[in-house]
Every structure is written in C-alpha cells, then in structure tokens.
Amino acid sequence: MTDPVSGLTEQVVASFAATPSPRLRTVLESLVRHLHAFIGEVALTEAEWQAAIDFLTRTGQLCDDQRQEFVLLSDVLGASMATVAVNQPATTGTVANSEPPTESTVLGPFFVAGAPRAELGADISAGAAGQPCYVSGTVHGGAGEPVPGARLEVWEADEDGFYDVQRLGGGLANRAHLFAGADGGYRFWSVRPAPYPIPDDGPVGELLAATGRGPMRPAHIHFQVSAPGYRTLTTHIFSAGGEYLDRDAVFGVKDSLIKSFVDCPPGTGPDGRRLDRPWSRVTFDIVLAPTTVEAS
C-alpha cells in the first residue's frame, strides 16, 4: 500500500535544506519524519488533529510566570525524563575508581530563579506548614574532592502539598539558595516533604483523567547544584517508604535518590536548635560530574 504522506514528508524535509545551523536542520528533519509517521500510523483524523491543536493552545494560555503547563505536559508524557536520560552523565567518570555522579531527574514546573540566599544552617521554611526537617550533606566530585562554594538551589512544597508560588500573596517559602562550605558541606532547616498532586485543573489534568492516571507525586525535595568545572545537577530526594514512589505522575523517581528521613523526638537538633515538637532529618551527599565526561 502506498504511503499517502511520504511524498509530502520529503517535500517538507527538503524545505530545510538551506538551514544555516546543522543541528537545527537535523532536529527539524527528524521531527517532521517522526510526526508524519505518527499521523500515518494512527490514521489521525482532521477532528483529532484540531482537538490536539486546541489542547496545545489551551496549554499555552495557562502558562504564566507562576505556572508552566507545558513543562507539566512534558513531565507527564515522560519527555522530561527522556531528555534527562539522554543527557545524564556517564555512570562512571574518567578517573579510575571514581564515584558515579548523583542521578538527575526532572526540574518540574515550580523552579523560581532568584530565590533568596540562606546562610548554612538557616531555616528556609519561612513559616511554611510542616514538621521541621534538618537537611545536610556534602557536595564533592567523583574522586572524593570537596566542592567548596558549590551553589545549591533548594525548593519544596509544604505539608499541604503547595509550593509558595501556588499561594497568592504568600511570598517565597521553602525555597532558597545557599553555598557549600570549605569542606563541601551544606545544611539547612526546612519541612518534611509530603506527597502532593500536580496541578490537574487544566489541560494536563484533562489528559490524566481521560487516561485513568493519577496526578500524585511522592514526597520530595528539589535540588539544583552548580559549580565551576562541574556539570549542573538537577535532582530530587524522595522519602523512603512513602506513597506513590511506584507511580510518580512524572516518572521522576530513581532508586538512588530515595533517602531515609529519620524521625526524631522533641529536643535538641544537630546544630543546637531547641525543638518542642517532633522533627526529622535526612542526609544527602551529592556527587557532581566534571564538565567533560567521557562515555564508559
């Protein structure tokens, strides 16, 4: 049977022949071939294509400086994690017996540039609801060398499952940037993370409902870590034993990122802070990959 779109596909591909950027030309040619093949494979109807355009239009209309519905769509389709997988550094570095870099995962739609600076040991919760949680660890390279001054961006939801940007007029909370000390160590207070649903009141929520999928994410804290000479790491840590680890709506869970949050009774924290209610602590040591990593 003759492919009804093959001639059209080659015409469109040929239209990019004069593209100055070789990389852009490669991407567009591949995109057209895959898109046309998909249309042919499922025999897409004109009504379905119009519905898809309407869906994407509404997705774009819902985006603003506090909500990124397109990132959410990328996440629930697994495209974000597929891109992470393609760009994840090699699991072993170029130095013999080096430690593998910490695994990456999705950025998510709630990253905010320009978060306030916090000093080491500060409480970044800014009054957000939740059990106090002490987060600490080190930032080092694969050979064990500390990375002093590494910049850590951290952010998370409160115990009700809301990020600061989802609360109108509430200001920034559970969000900050800080710098590792001379030994690569870092520490801060926040709140113990809780599971929460991704925003499902828009087109992405319609997609999840239509396919019988849930919107829940397991409890986690976001990290983005950068330092000269090292690849920027975007990752989370997840709470061991928590709900939804096996059915994260955005497919972001990796076994190496599941960490134990230890329950502690009221008393004195690691830094001398007095706590009159239960609290928790977690340790997360971060290994950065060098800027240039050879495949192993």
171-177 average pLDDT score: 94
- Give the integer Cα–Cα distance in Å for 154 and 256: 18
Amino acid at 90: A
pLDDT at 169 over 80: no
Question: What is the Cα Rg of the chain in Å?
Answer: 22
Rounded to an integer, what is the distance from CA 197 to the centroid of its chain?
15
The CATH fold of domain 79-288: Protocatechuate 3,4-Dioxygenase, subunit A (2.60.130)
Query: Where does the pLDDT of residue 211 fall: very low under 50, low under 70, confident under 90, or very high at 90 and above?
Result: very high
Burial class (CB in 10 A: 0-12, 13-18, 19+), 139: buried
Instruction: Please state whether the predicted TM-score (pTM) of the whole model is above 0.95.
Output: no
What does the pLDDT read at residue 91?
A: 60
Q: What is the pLDDT of residues 51-108, one digit of tens each?
A: 999 999 999 999 988 789 999 999 999 999 999 999 987 665 545 557 899 999 999 9
Q: Structure tokens of 229?
A: 């000479």
Task: Find where tokens 């495949």 sit.
Answer: 295
Question: What tokens were used for 265?
Answer: 């009774």
Backbone angles phi, psi at 133, to 5 degrees: -140, 130
Tokens 């800080």 belong to: 178
Block residue for tokens 């710098």: 179
